[in-house]
Amino acid sequence: MNDLQSFRNLGLSENSILALGNKGFEEPTDIQEKVIPIALNGTKDIVGQAQTGTGKTAAFGLPILEKIEPGQGYVQALVLCPTRELAIQVSEEIHSLRGQKNFHILPIYGGSSIEQQLRRLKSGVDIVVGTPGRVIDHINRKSLNLSKISYMVLDEADEMLNMGFIEDTEKIISHTNDKRRMLLFSATMPDAILDLARRHMRDYEFIRIQKKQLTVETTDQIYFEVAEGDKFEALCRIMDVEQEFYGLIFCRTKVDVDEVTNKLVDRGYEADALHGDVSQYQRERIMEKFKGQRLNILVATDVAARGIDVNNLTHVINYSLPQDPESYVHRIGRTGRAGKEGTAITFVTSDEYRKLLYIQRIARADIRKEDLPGIDQVIEQKRSRIKEDVHELLGSNEIEIYRTFAKELLETADPESLVSAILRYSFQDELDPANYNEIRKVSIDKKGKSRLFVALGRNKGMNAKKVVDFIEKEAGVKAQRIHDVRVLEEFSFITVSFEDAEVILNSFRKNNHGNRPLVEKAKDSNPPAGKRKHY
């Protein structure tokens, strides 16, 4: 078992080492290796440029947990995130890194009960992870006092810029003290972010992690178009049609992991689950069985799967699409190791097709479409395997002890009827087509266009050219690919391809809790921009 010495060399305590071991970490990422020693030992602020999925949360979370003490009676650290999802994710990650220390960590964001947040803040919180709108709301209510914080982190600062949160961020910074350390992380470094760093950060260290080429060359990549409600049926067909299946199934949430695992076990598959609620003892037992192939199916979340090192997986299945191209490459890279080619399968619903195109484009992945195997095809594959296994046994000594019994049976019926009865007795469940449900045909328009809503109109000085220039600058989609621009008083509309739409929407990521970013997929009706809230 890895002794995590490389993490010890960064200056982390045994409490942190234990927490990292429990989470399955093996060695630090580039951003962790560079940020952690500076954050632990220096006094400088930090500006870190690194892409999504590089371990930024542990890079700033571990030093903060090392440097502050729980139960001081006031908020000691604030992590500001652009979206609800990220705030929850960062909060859970920091919580999982606290080890034996009894830190109280609270995510605060719009769309959840503010009364519950008020009660938690009043009872005492050490670290707050929040979105700008809700943090300002608590500051105005005087329920959140940032005057004594030791650390302030701006996570995904370029996203906050894209979503129009820089003014809110500066307002929040104004409520902190001058002695606090600031850590700013961003995938890109536009001038506005660098200007914010110069104005609000003291002497700072700039750390840049080179973006790595996303590619997986030894993995055969396939996607299936399937309705959300048919994913489990599709999963069973894929596993049953394979000669051998030894793989990881990735789900988005712990609830999904448990649901899929329970269904698989109910159907007789050798499957188990890994997610954040699985104890270290359980994890070790599960991994021992999986590595020994006494268990051939492991269902997991991305975080729980970190640190799994198995070289001979045949399959990785994306039951749910990953959040970003980096996560996709990290997932499927678990196959195709040790010189063997693996297979990566992704389920895609109609609503997710744009996201798949985005992943293909950024990861430069060659993902081909295939049709799901039909029920007849699955049954025929099973019949072929039974024939092969029976013929293999015919040449072995293992059948000798059954010869006397076989002769007795042959005296009672003709050979064909007898073999038929034995097949029914032995394989009734396995060869019964009724065990499979029909799967609806899903057809996705590959050449479709998307109409996008832009929360900027003539009242903001916009015209068609300025809207196009804005989209090109922020999302990198060329002007000639943006069509049918319509500028109204308080908002605008544009038309782009599915693929470009995903690129643009990813640049203006949606909060997904009732509030909207600057750009989103157009609906039949949209409220005037002046009545829209941002958190």
- The residue among 291, 343, 290 whose CA lies nearest residue 314 is 343
Query: Is 449-531 in CATH node 3.30.70.330?
Result: yes
Mean pLDDT of 499-505: 83
List the domain boundaries for the chain. 5-208, 219-372, 376-435, 449-531
% of the chain beyond a pLDDT of 90: 47
The more confidently predicted of residues 409 and 498 is 409
Highest mean pLDDT among 51-55, 99-103, 441-445 belongs to: 99-103
Number of Cβ within a 10 Å radius of residue 534? 18
Q: Look at residue 529 and tell me whether its pLDDT is greater than 60.
A: no
User: For residue 193, what are the CA distances in angstroms to 81, 154, 185, 198?
Assistant: 14, 10, 10, 9
- The residue among 129, 158, 145, 160 whose CA lies nearest residue 65 is 129
Query: Is 219-372 in CATH node 3.40.50.920?
Result: no
Number of Cβ within a 10 Å radius of residue 517? 23
- pLDDT-derived band at 170, boundaries 50, 70, 90: very high
- pLDDT-derived band at 515, boundaries 50, 70, 90: low
pLDDT at 461: 92
- pLDDT-derived band at 128, boundaries 50, 70, 90: very high
pLDDT at 509: 62
Q: Look at residue 127 and tell me whether its pLDDT is greater than 50.
A: yes
pLDDT in tens, 455-473: 999 999 999 999 999 999 8
pLDDT at 106: 95
Mean pLDDT of 509-534: 52
Span of 239-243, 317-321, 378-382, 504-508 with lowest mean pLDDT: 504-508
Q: Look at residue 212 and tell me whether its pLDDT is greater than 70.
A: no
Q: Look at residue 122 and tell me whether its pLDDT is greater than 80.
A: yes
| E strands present in 55-197 | 77-80, 105-108, 127-130, 151-154, 181-186
pLDDT at 431: 85
pLDDT in tens, 44-99: 999 999 876 678 899 999 999 999 999 999 999 999 998 877 888 899 899 999 99
pLDDT at 533: 31
pLDDT at 204: 92
The more confidently predicted of residues 25 and 6 is 6
pLDDT at 343: 92
| Same fold: 5-208 with 449-531 | no
Write down the mean pLDDT value for the chain. 86
Inter-residue contact 436 to 378 (CB < 8 Å) = yes
The kind and range of the H/E element at 418 are: helix 415-427
The CATH architecture assigned to 5-208 reads 3-Layer(aba) Sandwich (3.40)
Q: In what order do the strands lie in the sheet with 367-369?
A: 271-274, 297-300, 247-250, 315-318, 342-348, 219-225, 367-369
Q: Checking DSSP bridges between strand 181-186 and strand 151-154, what pairing results, if any? A: parallel
| Tokens 């949606």 found at | 510
pTM of the model: 0.52
Q: Look at residue 331 and tell me whether its pLDDT is greater than 90.
A: no
pLDDT at 531: 35
pLDDT at 534: 32
Mean pLDDT of 327-336: 80
